[in-house]
Amino acid sequence: MRKILLIALVAVLASCTASQSDPKGNHPCLLLTKEGVKNIKAAKGKMPMLDVSLERLAQDAQAAMDRETCVPVPKDGGGGYTHETHKLNYYDLHVLGMSWQLSGDKKYVEKAKEIFLAYCEMYPTIGMHPIEMSPVRGMLFWQTLNESVWLVHVAMAYDCLKDQFTQDERDQIENKLLRPIAKFIMEGTPANVETFNKMHNHGTWATAAVGMAGIAMDDEELYKKALYGSDMTGENGGFVMQLDNLFSPDGYFTEGAYYHRYAIWPFVAFAQCIDHHSPELGIFAYRDSVILRSVNTLAQETYCGEFMHFNDALEKGFSAQELIYAIDIAYNADRSNKMLLTIADTYQHRVMISDAGYWVAKGLSDGEAQPIKYSSVLLKDGPEGKDGAVAIIRSEDGNSALTMKATSHGLSHGHYDKLTFAYYDAGLEIVSDYGASRFLNIEQKNKGHYTKENKTYAGQTVAHNTLVADRTSHYNGDIKISSEHSPRIAACSMDNQAFQYVSAVDSTAYDGIRMQRWLAWVELPFLQFPLIVDLLKAESSQAHEYDFPLHYNGHMVHLSVPYKRATQTMSALGDKMGYQHLWVEAEADCAEGTTTYSWLSGYRMYSFSQATTANTKFRILRSGASDPNFNLRSEPSIMFSEKCSGDRLFASCLETHGKYDLQVEQAANLTPSCVSVEVVKDDAHTLQVDYHFVDGQVLSVRVERSTSKMTINY
């Protein structure tokens, strides 16, 4: 099916290419078209969201006009002067281009021309960027990636302005600047050739940049190469092939939500340009509307408007500029998806100045917004959807969410975190994922790049909420091996809101260990909030030392067994695989029975209970050891540890309870209801764990091993 679409696409495009030989007079035609300009001008003062956005454009334009034109010879890395100046320049050019189209004021053209011509003077004089940190080094920037982002913006600017430039100016700009940069991105170095044709989001930035520059310059060859790769066959690279490969059938992006955000930007931007340039291709319908599905999937990977943390991730969400593009363009492509209007209204507070942005502003102004619909989802990973999945289980009111990550490695931004979970509640990340160790654009912090602790801590297994064997990360921290395997989703049931669960199996993270985890969401009439049931079964014929870490946000309130706090001196937990980065704040010996740890987060209490033995060791930890440059955040975690001679079932639950209202000074239900976790059966056929509650109620959880199916009884 996909193959057929591809062939059709090539055919249609060939004809369309021919018919577009003289498109002069059609500009602008990328994201903002002639019709968009007309619509926006006519809507002024009538659509609040558009007015706000135009006001912001006016401020940005004034700032751009006020700035002295400055096109420095590239020197600095991310956050440094020349890096930030070239970024500012591409934003400024884009802003000036749009402002000219909407105002007809020539001053914007003159200013933009000055910047363009300064680039035409500078660019031909430079070679490769002096900073040699990236395997895909750029010229204007330390990595070609930024060069692509530069060209995406500058192509939009040129598209808006070119008709105002003389033939000589256009020749200069195209021949000294835009085409050379496009060619550099496409084929300037072997690394660039590889990236341009790669199934990777950097590749999509490259194809989008080259393709949009192609449309802006009426250079159909560039456009075609962007669509079908350097060899124009569609078999070895290009945007269309990226659409086939970079998202799973569920629209999941393998690196996780944070990079999904970044990857989606060139996809939606270039797709919108393709749709304007060659609407007959129906690019948004391609591969069962994979672009639109992907935007919806990314929306499902948010909590309170912020992206959940999978793999390398910083704090971003719907308010990120990429998502403004994504939401506006997705709505423009499918105006029946009215929840996108609410996302724009609630989290973005502005629209793109573009055809798509106009329709969002109009939809909002016409009162068409519908509530955002969050639901429990299983998002399968891999181009064929066969490489594991992320599961997200939600409360009906969207106030709580439970996630399990059982995906493929996730390329270079992946973490060694098979079967890890997280829990979000009452607006906070309760059981947390560290995300990435990086101070983006802060030059004093490793020039704004990932810090080395990103590898030594953030990516390691112990930094996650899953099982570590023998103090070694999954796949021994080897990305090559990790990239070859994925967990298997063994069972998933999300139809009954009151009882949902997912189970995944991994048997490759450790040689000779099979791990299977069941995470269940159980709404019980006798509990205030849903109970999270967690069964993690490790099977091995050999003895292993297992660590079960749990990272949380909040303040320690209570541990059910006596503990010894480090008071005068404190030591690191270990010396490698992330253990070196954890301070041991306290240690305890568990008893045979149940060990419960409670913490306060926001206005609620959270208690994690696990069935422990007399051999279970418990630790309270904090990140920040072995961190000579203060790159790590100081965050708390706990860890259950045990040496096991064979199989081990880690049976636990997370209970949300209580109310702690400082404003009216009221507190209630501060002690957990779950009093014990009892493993009743743990054999080859059946697992049964009974959760006992304070008033005598029992929740009995049963798993049939052969099917991995879970049932509950209470």
In the set 598, 609, 637, 656, which binds a second copy (CB under 8 A)? 598
Active site includes 546?
Answer: no
What are residue 559's phi and psi, to 5 degrees? -125, 135
Closest CA to 360 of 375, 380, 340: 340
State yes or no: residue 396 binds a second copy (CB under 8 A): no
State yes or no: residue 55 binds a second copy (CB under 8 A): no
State yes or no: residue 21 binds a second copy (CB under 8 A): no
In the set 175, 571, 707, 713, which binds a second copy (CB under 8 A)? 571
The CB-of-434 to a second copy minimum distance in angstroms stands at 14
State yes or no: residue 413 binds a second copy (CB under 8 A): no
The contact mask relative to a second copy for 318-337 (x = CB under 8 A, - = no) is -xxx----------------
Interaction residues for a second copy, span 634-693 (CB under 8 A): 634, 636, 660, 662-668, 670-671
Cα separation, 347 vs 304, in Å, equals 9
State yes or no: residue 556 binds a second copy (CB under 8 A): yes
In the set 416, 423, 439, 546, which binds a second copy (CB under 8 A)? 439
Contact segment (CB under 8 A) with a second copy among 303-311, 371-379, 562-570, 676-684 equals: 562-570
State yes or no: residue 600 binds a second copy (CB under 8 A): yes
Amino acid at 681: K
Contact segment (CB under 8 A) with a second copy among 122-130, 222-230, 419-427, 568-576 equals: 568-576
Contacts of 174 (CB under 8 A, 6+ apart): 217
Owner of token pair 């509650």? 693
Closest CA to 601 of 430, 419, 437: 430
In the set 259, 421, 548, 583, which binds a second copy (CB under 8 A)? 583
Which helix (H) or strand (E) segment holds residue 653: the answer is strand 648-657
H helices present in 217-256, as ranges: 220-228, 239-245
Cα separation, 115 vs 100, in Å, equals 15
Q: Of residues 119, 123, 259, 510, which has the active-site annotation?
A: 259
- Chain centroid to CA 135: how far? 23
Closer CB to a second copy, 60 or 250, in the complex: 60
State yes or no: residue 629 binds a second copy (CB under 8 A): yes
| CA dist list (Å): 352 to 211, 286, 289, 409, 668 | 20, 24, 22, 34, 47
State yes or no: residue 137 binds a second copy (CB under 8 A): no
State yes or no: residue 626 binds a second copy (CB under 8 A): yes
Cα separation, 417 vs 462, in Å, equals 8
Contacts of 630 (CB under 8 A, 6+ apart): none
The CB-of-327 to a second copy minimum distance in angstroms stands at 14
The CB-of-411 to a second copy minimum distance in angstroms stands at 20
State yes or no: residue 82 binds a second copy (CB under 8 A): no
Cα separation, 359 vs 342, in Å, equals 13
Closer CB to a second copy, 489 or 621, in the complex: 621
As a dihedral over the C-alpha atoms of residue 48, residue 49, residue 53, residue 56, rounded to 10 degrees, the angle is 60
Which helix (H) or strand (E) segment holds residue 434: the answer is none
Closer CB to a second copy, 126 or 314, in the complex: 314
Closer CB to a second copy, 152 or 533, in the complex: 152
State yes or no: residue 525 binds a second copy (CB under 8 A): no
In the set 56, 455, 488, 633, which binds a second copy (CB under 8 A)? 633
The CB-of-442 to a second copy minimum distance in angstroms stands at 6
Are the C-beta atoms of 536 and 649 separated by less than 8 Å? yes
Contact segment (CB under 8 A) with a second copy among 275-283, 439-447, 676-684, 696-704 equals: 439-447
The CB-of-573 to a second copy minimum distance in angstroms stands at 10
The CB-of-90 to a second copy minimum distance in angstroms stands at 11
State yes or no: residue 339 binds a second copy (CB under 8 A): no
Cα separation, 647 vs 113, in Å, equals 71
Owner of token pair 């569920």? 250
The CB-of-87 to a second copy minimum distance in angstroms stands at 7
Closer CB to a second copy, 515 or 573, in the complex: 573
Cα separation, 713 vs 193, in Å, equals 59
Contact segment (CB under 8 A) with a second copy among 232-240, 399-407, 632-640, 697-705 equals: 632-640
Cα separation, 96 vs 127, in Å, equals 28
Which two three-digit tokens encode residue 470?
């023998």
Interaction residues for a second copy, span 443-472 (CB under 8 A): 443-445, 448
Which two three-digit tokens encode residue 193?
């050739």
State yes or no: residue 73 binds a second copy (CB under 8 A): no
The CB-of-534 to a second copy minimum distance in angstroms stands at 23
Q: Of residues 277, 413, 415, 464, which has the active-site annotation?
A: 413
User: ∠ CA(389), CA(495), CA(605), 5° rounding?
Assistant: 80
Active site includes 277?
Answer: no
Cα separation, 115 vs 291, in Å, equals 34
Cα separation, 151 vs 209, in Å, equals 5
| CA dist list (Å): 330 to 136, 267, 273, 299 | 31, 11, 13, 12
Q: What is the total count of residues that contact a second copy (CB under 8 A)?
A: 57
Closer CB to a second copy, 663 or 706, in the complex: 663
SS3 for 605?
A: strand
Closer CB to a second copy, 222 or 584, in the complex: 584
Closer CB to a second copy, 63 or 698, in the complex: 63
Closest CA to 432 of 423, 444, 441: 423
Closer CB to a second copy, 570 or 680, in the complex: 570
Cα separation, 197 vs 583, in Å, equals 45
State yes or no: residue 561 binds a second copy (CB under 8 A): no
Cα separation, 316 vs 302, in Å, equals 9
State yes or no: residue 260 binds a second copy (CB under 8 A): no
Closer CB to a second copy, 233 or 571, in the complex: 571
| CA dist list (Å): 494 to 377, 391, 402, 503 | 8, 10, 12, 12
Contact segment (CB under 8 A) with a second copy among 12-20, 365-373, 441-449, 464-472 equals: 441-449
CB atoms within 10 A of CB 169: 16
State yes or no: residue 197 binds a second copy (CB under 8 A): no
H helices present in 129-219, as ranges: 144-161, 167-172, 179-187, 190-196, 201-216
What amino acid positions are annotated as catalytic residues? 259, 413
Binding residues vs a second copy (CB under 8 A): 79, 84, 87-88, 314-316, 319-321, 439-445, 448, 555-558, 565, 567-572, 580, 583, 585-586, 598, 600, 620, 622, 624-630, 633-634, 636, 660, 662-668, 670-671
